Amino acid sequence: MRRQDFHYELPPERIAQRPLPERGASRLLELQRPAGRVVDRRFRDLPQLLRPGDLLVLNDTRVIRARLYARKETGGAAELLVERILAPDRVLAHVRASRAPRPGTALVLEDGSRLRVLGREGTLFEIAFPSGRSAAAVLDRMGHVPLPPYVRRPDSPEDRERYQTVYARVPGAVAAPTAGLHFDRDVLRRIRARGVEVAYVTLHVGAGTFQPVRAEHIEAHRMHPEWLHVGSEVCTAIERCRARGGRVVAVGTTVVRALETAAAGGDLRPYTGETRLFITPGFRFLVVDALLTNFHLPESTLLMLVCAFGGYGPVMRAYRHAVAHGYRFYSYGDAMFIHTVEDGNAV
């Protein structure tokens, strides 16, 4: 397929710039496979779309304050977006500046601290923090919430809490697993009360999630690496779910990539490491039965994954429906729930 096959028109005013006052107040577009029927709902309807015996899988990654503002020794402005913490005092980061910094030069933070550029790995720079100061501590004190590029405003104190899921616990992401932003404690309580089991994986979302697909034919695109952990606990929970006839419900494309990476050998096994899994139409899903996801950018790898899961035609028609009916798009936007319905009953 071609990149342009995944294009759709989106008015700029549909791109959510701020979260709603309440997490659970979002809208929810239900997409029923295989017929492609769509139903307009509220996110608080989600517990009723699940059933006793299902397993809800969440990504418990925690977004770090990955954006730092600095200046070069020559005085020019520089902006760092940390992609990954390599060691207590070393990171890999994107650096935006008028000219790329050379190895051996310094970047000076707002408090006068000096970071040293060690080298370059492709589009990323290896950066060393001052002796005795951990990168995590500096980011926590001086870093800014790394809002996506389509949010056209500076980060605010509100974002520190709202650009984070209520169940986030493992620091390392530089972008939120946005399908999880809709959950509050009450919705999770209602889901558990319905007899739905909850399990967790970790996938640290990288800034590469916003990387555009530049190749005309999508199979030529190379995915950015992301670190993940699928533990034995979630593998056992999935076995229990299968035994009782439940569905594995992935909250977000990150959970899909984590679980399907762990099952890439044919059987689901615990896995810790990187993934470059690129899911496109024609992919055979081995683990995930239903998907909760936000609305994604045109021509993006995330939209391609959703089309692979929900069917290219039904998903693209659902997106056009969402645009026409005023849904809010992207990270702080509304959600879509894709599951199989036959003869009026979810299966």
pLDDT digits (tens, 9 = 90+) for 196-208: 999 999 999 988 7
Work out the number of other CB atoms within 10 angstroms of the CB of residue 87: 10
- The per-residue pLDDT for range 309-331, each reduced to its tens digit, is 999 999 999 999 999 999 999 99
Top pLDDT among 133 and 230 is at 230
The C-alpha atoms of residue 102 and residue 118 are separated, in whole angstroms, by: 8
Angle at 182 between CA 177 and CA 187, to 5 degrees: 125
Contact 14, 328 (CB under 8 A): yes
Work out the number of other CB atoms within 10 angstroms of the CB of residue 13: 10
- Burial of residue 169, with CB atoms counted within 10 A of its CB: 0-12 exposed, 13-18 middle, 19 or more buried: exposed
What number of residues does the chain have? Answer: 347
Domains along the chain with CATH numbers:
3-63+159-346 (3.40.1780.10), 67-144 (2.40.10.240)
Question: What is the phi-psi region of residue 124: left when phi exceeds 0, alpha when psi lies from -120 to 50, beta otherwise?
Answer: beta
* Mean pLDDT, residues 261-270 taken together: 96
pTM of the model: 0.93
The C-alpha atoms of residue 163 and residue 168 are separated, in whole angstroms, by: 10
The C-alpha atoms of residue 21 and residue 26 are separated, in whole angstroms, by: 10
Residue with tokens 């950018």: 297
Tell me the pLDDT band of 344, cut-offs 50, 70 and 90: low
Q: Whose CA is closest to 162, among 149, 140, 147? A: 147
Tokens describing residue 304: 């391609």
Distance of CA 47 to the CA centre of its chain: 22
What average pLDDT does the structure give for the chain? 94
